[in-house]
């Protein structure tokens, strides 16, 4: 048996399944925030392909910013803030 268990990936999959089954979209928001943190820590982002911050800085920051905003979007307080700003 492979001893190289990818716990973060397993937890992420459980979060995705749980968010769909129990209609808890904040779990997806948390997942996006985890992706943001991991991308900042590793200086790479993965969207179909590996994007390294040193090789493609603009694209890297667009991806990380997008993940951060999407992460916040899934939390109710952020949706209410957007509604209050636009009103």
- Residue segments in the chain with a per-residue pLDDT below the cut of 70: 1-2, 77-87
From CA 84, how far away is CA 74, in angstroms rounded? 16
Query: What pLDDT does 2 receive?
Result: 66
Both tokens of 59, joined, read 């694209």
Give the closest residue to 29 by CA, choosing from 41, 15, 17, 39.
Answer: 15
Residue identified by tokens 């694209």 is 59
Query: Residue by residue, what is the 3-state secondary structure of 34-66?
Result: HHHHHHHHHCEEEECEEEECCCCHHHHHHHHHH
Query: What pLDDT does 44 receive?
Result: 96
Q: What is the pTM of this model?
A: 0.75
* pLDDT single digits (tens) 20-39: 899 888 888 999 999 999 99
CB 43 within 8 A of CB 54: yes
């Amino acid at each position: 048996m492979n001893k190289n268990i990818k716990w973060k990936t397993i937890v992420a999959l459980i979060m995705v399944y749980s968010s769909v089954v129990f209609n808890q979209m904040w779990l997806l928001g948390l997942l996006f925030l985890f992706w943001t943190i991991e991308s900042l820590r590793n200086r790479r982002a993965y969207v179909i392909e590996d994007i390294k911050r040193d090789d493609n800085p603009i694209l890297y920051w667009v991806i990380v910013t997008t993940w951060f905003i999407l992460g916040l979007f899934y939390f109710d307080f952020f949706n209410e803030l957007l509604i209050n700003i636009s009103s």
